Structure 1
Amino acid sequence: MSGVLRRAAPALLVYAGVRALGIAVLAVWGAVAGKSPHQLLSARWDSLWYTRVADLGYGYEVRLPDGSVHSNLAFFPLLPWLERLGSAVSPLSYADAGLVVSAVASLCAAGGIFAIADRLYGRRAGVLAVALWAVLPVGVVQSMAYSESLFTALAAWSLYAVLTGRWVWAGLLASLAGLTRPVGAAVVAALWAVVAVQVVRERRIGARQLAGLLLAPLGAAGYVLWVGQRTGDGLFGYLDVQAGWGNGFDGGLAFARFAGGKLTAFPDALAGLGLIVGVALVIWLYVFGVRQRQPLPLLVYTGIVVALALCASGYFGSKPRLLLPAFPLLLPIAVSLARWRASRAAILLVVVAAGSAVYGAFWLHGSGPP
């Protein structure tokens, strides 16, 4: 274990430095704007819904003037469970426990991203992949009491377990990922795809593979079935809860209309153009990953994460945040940067990190992550 930590240490130090820079800029911005960085990170937007689950359990809902209902059943339980546990064993509030969970989980996510990139492309690419994940424009979410860091950590280490043939661990971590976010289905699908290919090739399945296969969907399936039983709507109960929030899956039609509508008038036309460029970049990076011959589990996982993020019908401002777990998209860039001189790559990352920190502070003091 000590050897693994020593190998990953540069990546973890880079990650911690980028996140510390982001929080420092947020603190300075907050001091000028008269807003509390602590509140922005722990008690706004979805963070409030998670702490309500930790505090009150499930059943809390808000009925809007148009008759739609926002129920806290939309939020998967692992993060609020950990917030409740953290508060029970320490003097922390649920919100502060959520910040601690996210901080620890984000470092674990960085470690998982490094482990995968290091295994596939070498240590330098691993460090750069972690740095790129840290400096994403919406990377500040990694420091919030949100579930993205926790989910990414579980997904990354589950995928690493798949790549290294640790099937039971892969299944357990996939199950926990499924208790964290609906997109946990992507981790399950990645494991299943690899096992299916091996079964076809070898015409047999090992006991550990079977165990991982059966364990993987238990988290997501258990919660979805429980919601269906609680709402009385069976298998479609969770979908009905999401519909109350305006969420659904329409193949990206609503998002396309939203982006197209932005193109009709200045200055919204710039935002619409930015959306189109951003989507094109995501698709190009995925295609590049296919051409790079990324392993099957990464391609399946990334494809489903991207599809669910871009093809959902609601909360268009959430798209960048929903893409945070799609870290394999960054591997082609990391491999390319690994060919640069170290000083040149470092300068680029420092500049991007500074821009990301400023954007994160601006974002949280404005619309923030819905």
Structure 2
Amino acid sequence: MLRSAPTDRRGMLCAVGLFVALRAVCTAVLAAFAAGRDTSLLALLGRSDAIWYARIVTRGYDHAIPVGPDGTLLPTNLAFFPLFPGIVALVDPVLPGGAGTAGVVVAWLCGIGAAAGIYAVGTHVRDRRTGVLLAGLWAVLPHSLVLSMGYTEPLFTGLVAWSLWALLRRHWVAAGALCLLAGLTRPTAAALVVAVGLAALVAVVRREDGWRPWVAGALAPLGLLGYVAWVGHRLGSADGYFRVQNDAWRMSYDAGGTTLATTRDLLTRESPLALYVTAAVVLVALGLLVLLATDRVPWPLVVFAGVVVALSFFGAGYYQAKARLLLPAFPLLLPVAAGLAAARRTTLVVVLAVLTALSAGYGVYLAIAWPYSP
């Protein structure tokens, strides 16, 4: 592991300020388009998955998987992990506007925490300038619209970033505890469990840091496994959670055949813009993973990013969601951020301006024109 550079308040404030400013620009553009269509900005930021989370806050979890008239299993809110709606439920009584508004507010606050954590990781691995740019790049990714919505990506990415930072600093118990919380947020936490678990195993084998790696390794999977077990108990079936994913939501994994077949179809038939952007994001992510693996970065970052890319690539359902699933894999941006850190200020301004314009425009498309979850 590399020696840490000091993570100072000034640099972190710069990173958070850049993140907030870029997201504010993108949200302002969306607000302008929403006003032109007599649509509420909050309604756009609280659509799709955000509605599912708001309903969990107000109605609780389903007691069974809904069944359609033809006997097929229908989507259920048991697929959505509990930490985010739990936090929203705490905030909801304090804010006006209902659970949907509270979800957007919580997402924004979590995005700020995530930007700070991303900066901390970037500073540890490289330097302060790289850390600031890493947070800025994350703010203007193609699907960064969801960072301003009532979605779990900001909370999950924040927990991932701070868990990885704690891991790199050898704060084992904190890394394991944050990984546990990430496991209560999204199933993609499996990638973080692998990274923390492997790092703990290496430390145990090398007899480093005493009992702490043991605790980290034990804590890391508890959140993910705990929710899977709870869903199984609620449905009265040990494989209940997998029935929710496979049978109710039609989400599974294959050897990448679905991803390759869908990508091939994009070259031979007209398809929506979102699918082309998704294919491009997945391809770029694979290239960035190769760059990251050949760069001098701590291996847990490569492991985490690699597993997230694998989960996205091998997923057999909801092709359009693959790019969004890659949002928490911010270590992939490290080579880009490090390269920009060495560039002139004019170059930085131009690159961030172009990326912000593209992100804002695509965010409008996803929020208004695209009928499905961003």
Given the alignment, which residue of 228, 233, 242 partners 2:232?
228
Does the 8 Å CA contact 1:129/1:330 hold for their aligned counterparts? yes
1:163 counterpart residue number: 168
Given the alignment, which residue of 258, 263, 267 partners 2:267?
263
2:83 counterpart residue number: 78
1:25 counterpart residue number: 29
Does the 8 Å CA contact 2:282/2:323 hold for their aligned counterparts? no
**TM-fit CA distance, 1:138:** 1.1
Aligned residue runs from structure 1 range 313-332, under 5 A = 313-332=316-335
Residues 254-293 of structure 1, C-alpha deviation per residue, up to 9 Å, x if partnerless?
Answer: 122222222222x339887665543332111001001103
Q: Does 1:209 align with 2:208?
A: no
1:343 counterpart residue number: 346
Given the alignment, which residue of 306, 309, 312 partners 2:315?
312
Residues 171-203 of structure 1, C-alpha deviation per residue, up to 9 Å, x if partnerless?
Answer: 110000000000111111111111212223x24
Q: Distance in 2 between matches of 1:94 and 1:275?
A: 30
Gaps of 5+ in 2: 1-6
Letter in 2 for 1:139: S
1:356 counterpart residue number: 359
2:240 counterpart residue number: 237
Q: Distance in 2 between matches of 1:93 and 1:273?
A: 35
Identity of aligned residues (%): 42
Distance 1:294 1:334, change over 3 A: same
Q: Does 1:254 align with 2:254?
A: no
Residues 193-249 of structure 1, C-alpha deviation per residue, up to 9 Å, x if partnerless?
Answer: 11212223x246622221221111111111100111111221x21111001101011
After the TM superposition, which segments of 4 or more aligned residues of structure 1 sit over 6 Å from their partners? 269-273
Given the alignment, which residue of 179, 184, 188 partners 2:189?
184
Does the 8 Å CA contact 1:263/1:273 hold for their aligned counterparts? no
Q: Distance in 2 between matches of 1:343 and 1:217?
A: 45
**TM-fit CA distance, 1:167:** 0.8
1:68 counterpart residue number: 73
Compute the RMSD of aligned alpha carbons.
2.0
Q: Does 1:108 align with 2:113?
A: yes
Distance 1:220 1:272, change over 3 A: closer
Q: Distance in 1 between matches of 2:181 and 2:343?
A: 38
Residues 60-80 of structure 1, C-alpha deviation per residue, up to 9 Å, x if partnerless?
Answer: 765456623111100000011
Does the 8 Å CA contact 1:174/1:187 hold for their aligned counterparts? yes
Aligned residue runs from structure 1 range 5-44, under 5 A = 5-42=9-46, 44=47
Secondary structure in 1 aligned to 2:75?
strand
Q: Distance in 2 between matches of 1:271 and 1:113?
A: 27
Does the 8 Å CA contact 1:262/1:271 hold for their aligned counterparts? no
2:102 counterpart residue number: 97
